A and B are shown apart, each in its own frame.
Chain A
Amino acid sequence: MRDILLSLKEGKLDKDNALTPNHLELSAPPVNRGEILRYAGFPAAVLRKKGEGKRDESYIEVPTDEELAKRLDEVVKLTEGNLTYRISYVCAKVDRGTDGYPVLPFGQHSSNLKTNLENCRGVIIFAATVGAGIDRLIRRYERTQVATGLLLQGIGAERVESMVDAFNEDVKRIAGELEMKAHPRYSPGYGDLPITVQPDILKLVDAERRLGITLNESYLMSPSKSVTAIIGIE
């Protein structure tokens, strides 16, 4: 990552070799139970009231009844050994078209992305997944123990988001050390960046072979707990 960002900084990023995908396996980020419950249907406000307001491991949001807390512990345990944390990314230079929109290695014309990438010289484009294991568990429980299924959905969402947060933080830190600035990530499906760019992004990072991510006709990713995004580098 450092090498590639350095090449970007020094303007040595050759277009072809920059687009060779890089593959990372991360260690598990700390579990944030508050976020899991938020994904499972607890409004953030309720959780904040119960905790100290901090959003990390120490942020305890003991659910209103201990049965739920117990179930959540069981379900977190179920997922142990069923998660992987994998990312594949490329780094690319950003040019501007005559209309001022950023030109990226995939086709788009999004004014939200244009704003997000303002002043950026490059981007990190990535796909990340926690793997198919969580989908197997969801499949196993969502029909016969719906509450467990719901909590598994929450865990999957929290896991992949936490991983991507950690990755984004890394990019930010390394960019900072090189006296550059990383922007918050931006994903297809938000604002006016359509989800139809997914096939191009996945192809760019060789997601099918490296991460096992495939798309269906409605542009949904399998494994379902996967994320694609773009991080601008200023």
Chain B
Amino acid sequence: MKILDYMRDNFVFLDGGMGTLLQEAGLKPGELPERWNVTRPEEIIKIQKGYFDAGTNVLLANTFGANCLKFDDEELEQLINAAFDNARRAAEESSGLQEKFIALDIGPLGRLLKPYGDFEFEDAVSAYAKTVRLGVKAGADLVFIETMNDSYDTKAALLAVKENCDLPVFVSNAYGSDGKLMTGASPASMVAMLEGMHADAIGANCSLGPEQLIGVMEEYLEYASVPVLIKPNAGLPRDEGGKTVYDVYPPEFSETIKLLLEKGVRIVGGCCGTTPEYIRAVVEKAAELKPVPVEDKNLSIISSYTHAVEFGKSPILIGERINPTGKKHFQQALRDNDIDYILNEGLKQADAGVQVLDVNVGLPEINEPDMLESVTKELQAVTDLPLQLDTSDPTAMERGLRCYNGKAMVNSVNGKDEVMEAVFPLVAKYGGFVVCLTLDEGGIPETAAQRVRIAEKIIKKASGYGIAKKDLIFDPLAMTISADTTAALATISAVHEIRHGLGANTSLGVSNVSFGLPSRNIVTSTFFALTLEQGLSAAIMNPYAAEMMNVYYAFRALHNMDANCTDYINYAQSLPAPVPVSAGADKSAGAGQSSSQGNAGKAASDSGSESGAGVSPLQNAIIRGLKEQAGNITKELLKEVKPLDIVQREVIPALDIVGKNFELKKVYLPQLLMAAEASKEAFEEIKKEMAKSAEGSGPKRCSFVIATVHGDIHDIGKNIVKLILENYGFDVHDLGKDVPEQTVVDKVVELHAPIVGLSALMTTTVPAMEETIKLLRQQAPWAKVTVGGAVMTQEYADRIGADKYCRDAMETVRYAEEVEKSLRAD
């Protein structure tokens, strides 16, 4: 009998702890337990036979740490084969009459993946794949991925299983006492990702006792449509006379497990501290119970690496701003590979209250697959919002989905067979919640009924790929009413039909409706309200438009989706104070004030004063690190003063004051950085203005390539130097951290950059710095190299052949100015 057939109508009993029993048998601390498969097989067989005798159905072969990071290829194969030989011997020798299965056990590799660690996702996939292939060859009945404390690592392991075999796969994560994985994932987010990738059973093991995992199990049972498993520790470890003991014994343990079986858990066993006695007690208790059927919860959920977002209840806002269409500034950022700009656009929308970020980075002249992968990775490192990958290029879509840490939204397919045939296989493999546009080869149908028919066709086609209706969300397409005044009515009625007739989710890019009309936000937000009333599940929208946010918060309050109207009240209180009755008078006063401020600014900058008393308002804002003020004053100044004049007369002198005070030790690093942030805000406004006037960004200073060296994952020092250099107008190319030597050299050659800045924080990474300098001398002999970082000293810098050691950011600026000057002199 196959395990999947067996588990349909039965509880499945797993085994219990292995490590504790091996230690009792004499395994030394630090000794690798997998080696015992070959050196002490009789001990392994004895323990495993004990589990089969106690009633275990699924025994995990002793392969938890069997991976190519710990063993060479030859030993790995030998250990895995021996593990299965031993397990089979244990099954044969056992007197138990139950169905018996042997699982390939896969634990974490022990390396944290990027961005928090330094291990590449794809390297993890390859490492797990090796173990999977050997396990299949050795005769595994199923694969059991367990004790995973990071969602990304879990995805790597599951992907390796799916790409290398057809065996059933169970996935179990290790939750902390806060009910989350170490890297932050909630149970619901794990359910979304793992079900999307077709795990056959999911749940939790290790780290806590059964009692402490009840909350986690309840969340699994609420969201999961596949069988749920638990394999807890024998309670919490306690120190007793220098020995670790666990505080829950078989009677109590099995009592809590029984409670969980009654709630709907189907697969149970034990982890650290449990023995065959625990499993025997569990099997006995379960005999009194009947399995609770596993039901499809029919939920539409996506996830990020921390949390899940559910569709079909409260409406979901999807931020549309990461998209180059019609945005010159954004297009330029894409061409310049200015990832920070894109990240900022994401973070700002998150602050504005969206729950999902749409990510579109398609421009004809850039490599979209590369860009979508890199932006996906960078965005998920800084924001915990789930992403909607928005591209018409299936290659780019696959690259994005593969590296995405969770279950993404996929934007989009439509009724064209060719499109569905390209995208649905990707969704079937990686999981996803798919936006389906109701158009096909014949274009966008005029009537609601025709659009609903396309939706029906898409549902049918998707089911052929194993993609259920709950994983589709239909966009019945908002068209502008300025071209056809019946357009909105058709869309509104299609939303109603799809929601209430087909029982599917709907989404709209709402702003199209007002295209070509004045004061578009009025029309768009009213349309938004009307479609919400018809059951719209999500909108792709501009969260900076106050009218849209007004509708969103008011709708939720009116529809009993906002307990005690808390969200609405918080939102309302965050709005700027209402305009007083005597608005006219105030307005003119305000205008007068702002123009006088502008004059004051000019006056101060003309005088070029340096002391605190004589500085202009903008300079004051920068020096004190007041970001918002700096931005606002710049906006005002731009009405009268040329952008480049503001830079020359206001921003640079202010930065100089702060920079000099820093050098004189009158202010310190945090203050220097706050000033830099404020001036960045001013620069943002200035850049926007320049993009409008097509004046060009003015002459940039020379280029400066900066990186933290290979093997080093410290970023902050380098980022500080980068920020200050940018403030001073240098064309900084930031390669990030842990940058391979040749990558630095290639960039310097490509740009013919005159200066390179390298950072190393650890003595252990200084050799990588030395190697980078060596390569630079060979391939880019013109480049000056400055080094810095916590361990760096003048002596070190001399020894590894750097041109210059800079103690801090300001010294780097001075050195860059010097190098630039000598270039001009040449």
| A and B held together in a complex | yes
The interface of chain A, by Cβ under 8 A from chain B, is 1, 3-4, 7, 13-14, 16-23, 25, 37, 40-43, 46, 63-65, 67-68, 71-72, 84, 91, 105, 131-133, 135-136, 138-140, 142-147, 149-151, 153, 195, 200, 203-204, 208-209, 212, 214, 216-220, 222-224
Cβ B716 vs Cβ A147 within 8 A: no
Cβ B671 vs Cβ A37 within 8 A: no
Known: A1-B239, A136-B184, A218-B765. A144 touches B340 (CB 8 A): yes
Q: Which 7 A-B pairs have the closest CB atoms?
A: A41-B669, A147-B673, A218-B711, A216-B118, A212-B182, A222-B112, A4-B242
Q: Provide the bound-state CA to CA distance between A105 and B28, in Å.
A: 11
Cβ B182 vs Cβ A132 within 8 A: yes
Chain B residues with CB under 8 A of A71: 625, 670, 674
Q: Which of A3, A146, A218 contacts B716 (CB 8 A)?
A: A146
Cβ A65 vs Cβ B624 within 8 A: yes
Cβ A146 vs Cβ B242 within 8 A: no
Cβ B674 vs Cβ A7 within 8 A: no
Cβ A204 vs Cβ B674 within 8 A: no
Q: Which of A42, A46, A91, A216 contacts B111 (CB 8 A)?
A: A216
Q: Provide the bound-state CA to CA distance between A208 and B344, in Å.
A: 34
Chain A residues with CB under 8 A of B381: 139-140
Cβ A214 vs Cβ B110 within 8 A: yes
Q: Which of B240, B347, B667 contacts A3 (CB 8 A)?
A: B240
Count class of interface residues, chain B:
35 or more
Can you name 18 A-B pairs with beta carbons within 8 Å? Answer: A7-B241, A16-B28, A18-B242, A20-B242, A46-B668, A64-B671, A68-B670, A132-B184, A133-B184, A139-B382, A144-B343, A144-B344, A144-B347, A146-B676, A146-B677, A195-B762, A216-B711, A220-B118
Q: Provide the bound-state CA to CA distance between A136 and B306, in Å.
A: 11
0 or 1 for each of B326-361: is its CB under 8 Å from A? (1 = yes):
000000000000001001100100000000000000
Cβ B669 vs Cβ A40 within 8 A: yes
Q: Provide the bound-state CA to CA distance between A209 and B206, in Å.
A: 9
Known: A131-B182, A139-B116, A214-B111. A146 touches B239 (CB 8 A): no
Q: Which of B111, B206, B677 contacts A145 (CB 8 A)?
A: B677
Nearest opposing residue in chain B for A149, CB measure? B716
Q: Provide the bound-state CA to CA distance between A214 and B671, in Å.
A: 34
Known: A19-B29, A216-B713, A222-B116. A147 touches B670 (CB 8 A): yes
Nearest opposing residue in chain A for B177, CB measure? A25
CB distance from A72 to the nearest CB of B (A): 8
Chain A residues with CB under 8 A of B723: 146
- List B238-260 residues whose CB lies under 8 Å from chain A: 239-244
Q: Provide the bound-state CA to CA distance between A186 and B762, in Å.
A: 18
Cβ A64 vs Cβ B667 within 8 A: yes
Known: A133-B184, A144-B344, A208-B110. A22 touches B119 (CB 8 A): no
Known: A41-B670, A216-B111. A147 touches B625 (CB 8 A): yes
CB distance from B607 to the nearest CB of A (A): 24
Q: Provide the bound-state CA to CA distance between A144 and B9, in Å.
A: 53
CB distance from B492 to the nearest CB of A (A): 39
Known: A132-B182, A146-B677. A3 touches B241 (CB 8 A): yes
Nearest opposing residue in chain A for B183, CB measure? A132
CB distance from B625 to the nearest CB of A (A): 5
Cβ B242 vs Cβ A143 within 8 A: no
Cβ B764 vs Cβ A223 within 8 A: no
0 or 1 for each of B101-119: is its CB under 8 Å from A? (1 = yes):
0000000101110011111
Q: Provide the bound-state CA to CA distance between A132 and B185, in Å.
A: 12
Most buried by A among B244, B665, B713, B716: B716
Chain B residues with CB under 8 A of A222: 112, 116-118, 713
Nearest opposing residue in chain B for A223, CB measure? B116
Q: Provide the bound-state CA to CA distance between A103 and B705, in Å.
A: 48
Tell me, yes or no, whether B127 is within 8 Å of chain A by CB. Answer: no
CB distance from A88 to the nearest CB of B (A): 10
Nearest opposing residue in chain A for B272, CB measure? A209
CB distance from B178 to the nearest CB of A (A): 8
Known: A23-B237, A139-B381, A150-B670. A218 touches B762 (CB 8 A): yes
0 or 1 for each of B607-624: is its CB under 8 Å from A? (1 = yes):
000000000000000001
Interface contacts (Cβ under 8 Å), in number, total 169
Q: Which of B23, B147, B206, B625 contacts A67 (CB 8 A)?
A: B625
Q: Provide the bound-state CA to CA distance between A122 and B723, in Å.
A: 49
Chain B residues with CB under 8 A of A25: 177
Chain B residues with CB under 8 A of A13: 242
Q: Provide the bound-state CA to CA distance between A200 and B29, in Å.
A: 10
Q: Provide the bound-state CA to CA distance between A20 and B669, in Å.
A: 44
Q: Provide the bound-state CA to CA distance between A212 and B665, in Å.
A: 40
Known: A143-B343, A208-B110, A217-B711. A7 touches B670 (CB 8 A): no
Cβ A17 vs Cβ B243 within 8 A: yes
Tell me, yes or no, whether B77 is within 8 Å of chain A by CB. Answer: no
Chain A residues with CB under 8 A of B383: 140
CB distance from A3 to the nearest CB of B (A): 5
Cβ B382 vs Cβ A143 within 8 A: yes
Chain A residues with CB under 8 A of B665: 43, 46
Cβ A140 vs Cβ B625 within 8 A: no
Nearest opposing residue in chain B for A138, CB measure? B716
Q: Provide the bound-state CA to CA distance between A63 and B106, in Å.
A: 51
Nearest opposing residue in chain A for B111, CB measure? A214
Known: A218-B765, A222-B116. A4 touches B382 (CB 8 A): no
Tell me, yes or no, whether B715 is within 8 Å of chain A by CB. Answer: yes
Chain A residues with CB under 8 A of B117: 214, 216, 222
Most buried by B among A13, A23, A43, A150: A150
Nearest opposing residue in chain B for A90, CB measure? B29
Cβ A203 vs Cβ B711 within 8 A: no
Chain B residues with CB under 8 A of A142: 715-716, 719
Tell me, yes or no, whether B650 is within 8 Å of chain A by CB. Answer: no
**Assuming A20-B23, A132-B182, what are 11 further A-B pairs, CB within 8 angstroms?**
A16-B29, A20-B244, A43-B665, A139-B381, A143-B719, A146-B676, A150-B670, A150-B720, A153-B716, A203-B30, A224-B713
Tell me, yes or no, whether B489 is within 8 Å of chain A by CB. Answer: no
Chain A residues with CB under 8 A of B116: 132, 135-136, 139, 222-223
Chain A residues with CB under 8 A of B115: 139
Cβ A42 vs Cβ B668 within 8 A: yes
Q: Which of A4, A37, A143, A204 contacts B241 (CB 8 A)?
A: A4
Cβ B243 vs Cβ A203 within 8 A: no
Tell me, yes or no, whether B398 is within 8 Å of chain A by CB. Answer: no
Q: Provide the bound-state CA to CA distance between A46 and B671, in Å.
A: 14
CB distance from A41 to the nearest CB of B (A): 3
Nearest opposing residue in chain A for B27, CB measure? A16
CB distance from B306 to the nearest CB of A (A): 8
Chain A residues with CB under 8 A of B108: 208
Nearest opposing residue in chain A for B115, CB measure? A139
0 or 1 for each of B248-276: is its CB under 8 Å from A? (1 = yes):
00000000000000000000000000000
CB distance from B304 to the nearest CB of A (A): 12
Tell me, yes or no, whether B653 is within 8 Å of chain A by CB. Answer: no
Q: Provide the bound-state CA to CA distance between A65 and B720, in Å.
A: 20
Nearest opposing residue in chain A for B673, CB measure? A147
Q: Which of A1, A46, A84, A214 contacts B112 (CB 8 A)?
A: A214
Chain A residues with CB under 8 A of B676: 146-147
Chain B residues with CB under 8 A of A42: 668-670
CB distance from A233 to the nearest CB of B (A): 13
Q: Provide the bound-state CA to CA distance between A143 and B721, in Å.
A: 11
Chain B residues with CB under 8 A of A212: 149, 182
Chain B residues with CB under 8 A of A18: 242
Chain B residues with CB under 8 A of A147: 625, 670, 673-674, 676-677
Tell me, yes or no, whether B176 is within 8 Å of chain A by CB. Answer: yes
Nearest opposing residue in chain B for A205, CB measure? B29
Q: Provide the bound-state CA to CA distance between A88 and B583, in Å.
A: 64
Q: Provide the bound-state CA to CA distance between A18 and B240, in Å.
A: 10
Tell me, yes or no, whether B21 is within 8 Å of chain A by CB. Answer: no
Nearest opposing residue in chain A for B119, CB measure? A216
Q: Provide the bound-state CA to CA distance between A163 and B171, in Å.
A: 34
Chain A residues with CB under 8 A of B178: 84
Cβ A220 vs Cβ B182 within 8 A: no
